[in-house]
């Protein structure tokens, strides 16, 4: 594992505020809630990056999910990727069902394991 991949693997947002800004308004970020859990994979095919699904608890107690990525910047720090869709749990499940129905990953169900 490269130094950059190791740095990405160790980086976590759990317990931190999940911040967002509206398109065209980068000067006024706001909190979506708190990251309560995350799952990730680190890819080293090209420049290392970390693909993450974050479980975020909103102020009203409901959960949303953010699919995002992190990279190691030119300064050697871990930086948040520029774009990240926000999904509620229902929409995330619906998308995963569609991926499975199309056999994109060779899975029959969400509980199936791959052997890569």
The predicted model scores a pTM of: 0.75
Per-residue pLDDT of 13-44, as tens digits, reads: 999 999 877 777 777 777 889 999 999 989 88
Distances (CA, A) of 88 to 41, 72, 93, 113: 21, 28, 9, 24
Burial of 72 (0-12, 13-18, 19+ CB in 10 A): buried
Per-residue pLDDT of 64-108, as tens digits, reads: 998 999 999 999 999 988 778 778 888 888 888 888 888 887 766
pLDDT of residue 76: 92
């Amino acid at each position: 594992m490269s130094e950059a991949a190791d740095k990405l693997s160790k980086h976590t947002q759990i317990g931190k505020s999940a911040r967002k800004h509206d398109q065209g308004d980068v000067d006024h970020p706001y909190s979506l809630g708190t990251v309560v859990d995350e799952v990730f994979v680190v890819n080293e095919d090209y420049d290392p990056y970390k693909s993450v699904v974050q479980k975020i608890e909103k102020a009203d107690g409901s959960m949303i999910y953010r699919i995002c990525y992190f990279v190691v910047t030119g300064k050697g720090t871990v930086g948040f990727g520029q774009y990240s869709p926000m999904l509620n749990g229902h929409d995330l499940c619906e998308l995963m069902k569609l991926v499975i129905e199309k056999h994109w990953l060779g899975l029959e169900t969400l509980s199936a394991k791959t052997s890569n």
